[in-house]
Amino acid sequence: MSRVFYLTTPIYYVNDAPHLGHAYTTIVADAMTRYRRLAGDEAFFLTGTDEHGDKIAQAAARAGISPQALADRNSAAFRAAWDALGLGYGDYIRTTEPRHERVVQAILQQLWDAGEIYLGKYGGHYCFGCERFYTEKEIVDGKCPDHLTPLTWIEEENYFFKMSRYQAWLIDTVQRQPDLIRPERYRNEVLGFLRDPLQDLSISRPRTRLEWGIPLPFDDKYVTYVWFDALINYVSALGGPGEPRFEKFWPVAQHVTAKDILKPHAIYWPCMLAALAKVHGKPPEAYLYRHLNVHGYWTIEGQKMSKSLGNVFAAVAPAEKYGTDAYRYFVLREMVFGLDADFSEAGLVGRLNADLANDLGNLVSRATTLIVNLAGGNVPALPAEAKFHPFGLIPDLRPEYERALAEVKRAMTEFGFHRALGAMWEFIGAVNRFVDQTQPWLIAKQIGRRQDLDAVLYSLAESLRVLGILLSPYIPAAAARIREGLSQSGEPTLADAEWGRLTSGTRVQKVSGLFPRVEDHERRPAGTAKPDTTAGLISIDDFGKIQLRVAEVVAAEAVPKSKKLLKLTVSLGSEQRTIVAGIAQHYAPADLVGKKVVVVANLEAAKLMGIPSQGMVLAGSTEDDGALAVLTLDRDLPPGARVR
């Protein structure tokens, strides 16, 4: 039986241009929806724009256009950004659409008829920039805490929603449903808010002061004020109570939001939904959403993102420069869902080069090339008597994969994108080690090892196949290329991501350049180079240029006429090299034979005492007496294994 899944992002306010923060929330919704679809659910996510209020009316007046024209233009900009990023929203709601206004007015009328709304007097310190009143506690030196501008005392009659009557119910509900608001830190924050008495919620503004809004159906001298307009989008997009789409999707509704709008989503909205359920003759929790998923903020290069600092990243910019998959991967991997995280180009490029280009891209290229070169591009049959063993000649990748798969499934039930990706990269690491350890290019040269070679190549092809499925919600374009390289057509499904389903004879093509490396000089556009404040430090990219590998010393001998030098023959697995090392005063040749050491494998060749040396052995030494120790391994690794 297919399940349904419905997820929403907040609707974005059209006084702003789409930026990194909006993009993150929407990427999260897209990745989660893709994952649920992969798992077989009928899934969609909703996004859209919030278009009413003073700020829009004022900005439109300044631009000399109508508020609707401004809203049209800016709403289209958000939509264009999500389209450019390939974010597949299933519906896009705008609060100026008739389908939304109709549902808002219907709900207001029902709550008015049921006595959930009353006319009261409201006086307070008002900030026109924030479009809100501030309490005495919030005011800083008589000024708006956000704008630091003087506040205006306004007294007026307004309509109020009887939110206070739902306080006890809400506390009880949040306590009884530990995963209603998650991660837990935000649930605790909400329970903290609820320790103070809950006030009734002002839901209107007089039209004399604010014209750009939805009129109250029972008093057209007023328009609906922010939350009763904005939050209702989540149900108006489904047509509202009684509509088939609402009845189908609303019972499983989940929201994603940033922590700055926790209170409206965790307090106002549940109370509104409880009142609505009551109106429809249902228990108060009948219309409550299933989960509120709250994420933290992005800082930019360690600083708060703000217009005044000029560090607001446009939503699409990183994708234009580094590709959509790299952008998605970085934000999903870097942010522990619920906590704040830092966005920097160096960080993105570091992950792009290390995780995507090196770990994943190289693996895909290496594995497909091996299958093409050693098996003619056909996946061999898995030999019946293939002897896999965790520590044997041919390690078994199945348990490694099954561990990763289980962790992905667990993590994704709670928005743990970083954990899911971490588990997949553990597996990718295991497959890379598998290639280093089994060395299929050597097996291919050995007589009587055809079955071993088949077992290795089958394991590699199967690893790529399951990765092509499992990675698809996070890096859809790269995952599609992997599946294509393995002739996997049709929509991927999680059910198919079971180890061992790959059939022999499947055609494999070389897949290269999945994620081209980004070199340091390509990173910053001309003219934006920062002054070097980090002299002496190197970037992760610089370090990535040094190839360190495990080498086994096969032979060692003194260099004639030299007190310092030893001539070593080392094995890097697939090849042997000569390295001349200045360690003769500290090691006898016999001490070194059989030792596993670490060498710089991509050092330019040099001649020492006439002997060509291809690499350098790493050793530590003291400054004063020159005592020296060669680096060895804490645990055994095969020669050729990468050190980083």
The burial of 234, by beta-carbon neighbours within 10 Å (0-12 exposed, 13-18 middle, 19 or more buried), is given as buried
Interface pattern 75-114 for Zn ion (x via CB under 5 A): ----------------------------------------
In the annotation, is 307 catalytic? yes
Tell me the pairing of strands 566-571 and 548-558: antiparallel
- Residue among 127 and 332 whose Cβ is closer to Zn ion: 127
Q: Which of 100, 144, 265, 278 is catalytic?
A: 144
- Name the strand (E) or helix (H) holding 532: none
The interface region with Zn ion, picked from 92-100, 125-133, 229-237, 427-435 by CB under 5 A, is 125-133
Q: Which of 52, 125, 127, 278 is catalytic?
A: 127
- Residue among 139 and 381 whose Cβ is closer to Zn ion: 139
**Cβ 167 vs Cβ 201: under 8 Å:** no
**Cβ 284 vs Cβ 320: under 8 Å:** no
* Minimum distance, C-beta of residue 144 to Zn ion, in the bound complex (Å): 3
Identify whether 183 is preceded by a cis peptide bond (ω within 30 of 0).
yes
- Residue among 144 and 475 whose Cβ is closer to Zn ion: 144
- Residue among 151 and 568 whose Cβ is closer to Zn ion: 151
* Minimum distance, C-beta of residue 262 to Zn ion, in the bound complex (Å): 19
Strand partners, 150: 143
Interface pattern 329-348 for Zn ion (x via CB under 5 A): --------------------
Strand partners, 8: 46, 255
3-state secondary structure of 616: strand
In the annotation, is 271 catalytic? no
Q: How many CA atoms lie within 13 A of 422 on its CB side?
A: 12
* Minimum distance, C-beta of residue 143 to Zn ion, in the bound complex (Å): 8
- Residue among 127 and 258 whose Cβ is closer to Zn ion: 127
- Residue among 146 and 498 whose Cβ is closer to Zn ion: 146
> CA-to-CA distance for 355 and 347, rounded, in angstroms?
11
**Cβ 62 vs Cβ 23: under 8 Å:** no
- Residue among 147 and 501 whose Cβ is closer to Zn ion: 147
* Minimum distance, C-beta of residue 205 to Zn ion, in the bound complex (Å): 16
* Minimum distance, C-beta of residue 127 to Zn ion, in the bound complex (Å): 3
- Name the strand (E) or helix (H) holding 153: strand 152-161
**Contacts to Zn ion from residues 461-480, by CB under 5 A:** none
- Name the strand (E) or helix (H) holding 482: helix 476-485
**Cβ 18 vs Cβ 174: under 8 Å:** no
The interface region with Zn ion, picked from 120-128, 236-244, 265-273, 413-421 by CB under 5 A, is 120-128
Size of the site for Zn ion (CB under 5 A): 6
**Cβ 190 vs Cβ 262: under 8 Å:** yes
Strand partners, 159: 119
Say which residue the tokens 């800083």 belong to.
140
In the annotation, is 295 catalytic? no
Strand partners, 577: 570
In the annotation, is 125 catalytic? no
- Residue among 20 and 144 whose Cβ is closer to Zn ion: 144
**Cβ 283 vs Cβ 310: under 8 Å:** no
SS (H, E, C) 203-250: CEEECCCCCCCCEECCEEEEEECHHHHHCCHHHHCCCCCCCHHHHHHH
* Minimum distance, C-beta of residue 210 to Zn ion, in the bound complex (Å): 16
Q: Which of 304, 387, 445, 545 is catalytic?
A: 304
* Minimum distance, C-beta of residue 155 to Zn ion, in the bound complex (Å): 19
**Contacts to Zn ion from residues 126-165, by CB under 5 A:** 127, 129-130, 144, 146-147
CA dihedral 53, 55, 61, 66 (to 10 degrees): -40
Residue spans of alpha helices (H) in 576-620: 589-592
Find all residues with CB under 8 Å of 207, minimum gap 6, and list them. 215, 220, 221, 222, 223
* Minimum distance, C-beta of residue 536 to Zn ion, in the bound complex (Å): 44
How many Cβ atoms sit within 10 Å of the Cβ of residue 106?
16
Say which residue the tokens 């837990």 belong to.
184
- Residue among 149 and 574 whose Cβ is closer to Zn ion: 149
**Contacts to Zn ion from residues 533-592, by CB under 5 A:** none
3-state secondary structure of 603: coil
In the annotation, is 304 catalytic? yes
Q: Which of 282, 307, 445, 545 is catalytic?
A: 307
Interface pattern 502-521 for Zn ion (x via CB under 5 A): --------------------
The interface region with Zn ion, picked from 123-131, 182-190, 220-228, 263-271 by CB under 5 A, is 123-131
* Minimum distance, C-beta of residue 499 to Zn ion, in the bound complex (Å): 57
Strand partners, 46: 8, 91
- Residue among 55 and 449 whose Cβ is closer to Zn ion: 55
The interface region with Zn ion, picked from 119-127, 310-318, 553-561, 623-631 by CB under 5 A, is 119-127
**Cβ 56 vs Cβ 14: under 8 Å:** yes
Q: Which of 55, 130, 263, 409 is catalytic?
A: 130
> CA-to-CA distance for 399 and 161, rounded, in angstroms?
56
* Minimum distance, C-beta of residue 137 to Zn ion, in the bound complex (Å): 15
Distance of CA 388 to the CA centre of its chain: 35
* Minimum distance, C-beta of residue 129 to Zn ion, in the bound complex (Å): 4
Q: What angle do CA 452, 455, 457 make, to 5 degrees?
A: 110
- Residue among 131 and 520 whose Cβ is closer to Zn ion: 131
Positions marked active-site: 19, 22, 127, 130, 144, 147, 304, 307
The residues of the shown chain that bind Zn ion, judged by CB under 5 A, are: 127, 129-130, 144, 146-147
